[in-house]
A and B are shown apart, each in its own frame.
Chain A
Amino acid sequence: MNTPARTKRRPGLLMDIPVLDYREALELQHSLVDARHAGRLDRDVFILLEHPPVFTLGRRGGLENLTVPEEMLRRRGIPVVPIERGGNITYHGPGQAVGYPIVHLPSAGWKVVSFVEALEEIMIRTAADFGVSARRDGRNRGVWVNGKKLGSIGIAVRHGVSFHGFALNAVVDLEPFGWVNPCGLAGVEMTSLARETGKTLDMKAVRRSVLHHTAHVLGLDLQPVNRKP
């Protein structure tokens, strides 16, 4: 992995949010990206949260990969939100650890592709903490366990500042993934840490593990802040 030299961790801010609506989280990211770009925010931010059930579409669409009628999602109150990240359609829901790093890539020395790999590394190390051996797949991004997808990636870069990020299936209900071809890949089966271990997992422990590895892999000394400073 082509990572920047890390002699000393850079200061960063942590927003540790239990559950946040997808669109609110997107607004929060946009405002942080703008502040980081304008210099009003002098350090990187990591947001850790879970979303209520939602489907999101990547910049190149993905509605064609929805395999159930949109009406069914409407009845269940699950929104479909088009967004600007890379990748295709995906599902988010409670029990999925979602990380959004707002990082000014050039000043931290990150190349985009290395940064994507670093986000995969965070998920791989977290999975290992729970005894699950996850790996990369040369052809498809994200992290995988025996051909099943455990975690997804999709970032966007605005004026050198990253947003969007990764989603690790911890104890999330996997059924809604069956309503789409996740990430535009037909026949991809999703899995979770709970399914792979066959155990009841404590989501708080998963979130702690994600934070630990994020700080290490991204070289950030994360200080918690209140959500609306």
Chain B
Amino acid sequence: MKEIHELILAEDVRYTEDHEWARLEGDQVVVGISDFAQDQLGEIVYVELPQVGDSFDKGEEFGSVESVKAVSELYMPVAGEVVAVNEELEGAPDLVNKDPYGAGWMIRIKPEDPAQMDELLDKNAYLEHLKGMES
């Protein structure tokens, strides 16, 4: 398992306490899981994603990732409607391990209220959250 100082924590995203990240791109939000989450899970073998057009509340479960014999739930960082899902993950779920903030993105949403992004953790607050979990 990576030490906290070894983790890659992208600067251009906001984080949730459940280790999803959200990146504002124009009027849409792209969502994935953090380097900590992918490292914690180990080799990801399956990613279950919602359908385009589905809507979820902030904090609601939108999918799951399966590492070997373990299913972990995924939660919405902000409320919104799914406008795209990363179909590459169906054939290559390990993209989440290899490039969690890039090619391993999961869904793109049209947020209900973009101001909800401000309620998420920035890199430093997320880092503090990670440090707090270990004590």
Binding site for B on A (CB under 8 A): 2, 58-60, 84-87, 105-107, 109, 111-116, 141-142, 153-160
Contacts and interface: CB of A to CB of B under 8 A. Distances in A.
A51 to B, nearest CB: 19
Contact of B69 (A84, A87, A109, A114): A87
B40 A155 contact: no
Interface residues of B, number: 21
Contacts of A154: 69-70
A90 B68 CA distance: 16
A85 B72 CA distance: 9
23 contacts: A2-B1, A59-B64, A59-B66, A84-B71, A86-B66, A86-B69, A106-B40, A106-B133, A106-B134, A109-B134, A111-B1, A111-B41, A111-B42, A112-B72, A113-B43, A116-B68, A116-B70, A141-B68, A155-B70, A156-B73, A157-B71, A157-B72, A158-B72
A156 B18 contact: no
Contacts of A141: 68-69
Interface string B33-76: 00000011111001010000000000000001011111111010
Given A60-B66, A107-B133, A86 B71 contact: yes
